[in-house]
Amino acid sequence: MLTLLGRSPSINVRKVLWLCAEMQLPIAHEEWGTPQLPLDQPLFLSLNPNAQVPVLRDGEFVLWESNSICRYLAGREKRADLLPTTPAARAQVEQWMDWQLGDLNNAWRYAFMGLVRHSPAHADPALVARSLADWTRLMQILDTQLSKTGAFVTGENFTLADVVIGLSVHRWFMTPLEERLALPAVDAYYAQLSMRPAFQLHGRNGLP
């Protein structure tokens, strides 16, 4: 039995929920990270000492880190369309997944926390501006890539790269910006993702 631990609004939890919906894979969901189920409880810390969500339980097997969970589930279900088995094709998908986690997320984090979450710890205007500049630069990289493929991040087929990057793209559109750079390929990509019922359920669902 698959069980996902993590609160629904989390962008990283939604990655996994979206993927499971795409694969029509049943999964139980427990809302850890709420006042009722805080992450500092010994039970949760025994599963993930980082006290972060999501956490996946597959029987006795426990896994954390959202992108690793997505890779695991695609491999578990033998979905080579989502995570190719040939080394070059798989590496390309994983390259963009790592870019999302290591570069894109780090770029938008300060601005998003300041402008959307209104976090007092992210209220420095200079740091917000720097975050927005970095975020915009990386979104231009994505726009260039999507202009080349004409469809999804790595080519004509939807893959795990689109699951993890798609939610970050949604966050780009949900963040109130005084001036948003025109990115036509990203616009077209977002519209294409929005046609997928699973993305509407866990991505473009009103949550930033």
Query: Could you tell me the pLDDT band of residue 43, with boundaries at 50, 70 and 90?
Result: very high
**What does pLDDT average to over the chain?**
97
Mean pLDDT of 172-185: 95
CATH architecture of 2-76: 3-Layer(aba) Sandwich (3.40)
- The pLDDT value given to residue 141: 98
- Calculate the alpha carbon distances from 177 to 1, 159, 174 in Å: 42, 29, 9
Tokens of 25: 């894979």
Residue with tokens 């720097």: 130
CATH architecture of 87-201: Up-down Bundle (1.20)
Portion of the chain with pLDDT greater than 90, in percent: 99
Beta carbons of 114 and 123 less than 8 angstroms apart: yes
Look up the pTM and report it. Answer: 0.96
Tell which residue, 180, 192, 84, has the closest CA to residue 146: 192
Mean pLDDT of 33-56: 97
Mean pLDDT of 66-74: 98
Question: Of all helices (H) and strands (E), which one includes residue 125?
Answer: helix 125-149
- The pLDDT value given to residue 169: 98
Residue with tokens 């109130």: 176
Name the residue ranges covered by the structural domains of the chain.
2-76, 87-201
